[in-house]
Amino acid sequence: MTGKTKSSKEAATKKKSAKQSPRKSISDEKIIESLELKLKEKEDRYLRLSAEFDNFRKRTLREKSDLIKFAGEEILVDLLPVMDNFERALQSVSEGNDQQSVTDGIKFIYTKFSDFLEQKGVQEIDSLNKYFDTDCHEAITKIKAPEKKLKGKVVDVIEKGYLLNGKVIRYSKVIVGE
Buried b (16+ CB within 10 A) or exposed e, 132-154: beeebbeeeeeeeeeeeebeebb
Phi, psi for 140 (deg, rounded to 5): -85, -45
Q: Output DSSP code: residue 133.
A: -
* Digitized pLDDT (tens) for each residue of the chain, 178 residues in all: 455 555 555 555 555 554 545 556 788 889 999 999 999 999 999 999 999 999 999 999 999 988 887 777 778 788 888 888 888 887 777 776 677 877 888 888 888 888 888 888 899 999 998 999 989 999 999 999 888 888 989 999 999 999 998 899 999 999 999 8
pTM equals 0.56
Please give the span between the terminal C-alpha atoms of the chain, in angstroms, as a whole number: 125
User: Which distant-in-sequence residues (6+ apart) come within 8 Å of 85 by Cβ?
Assistant: 105, 108, 109, 112
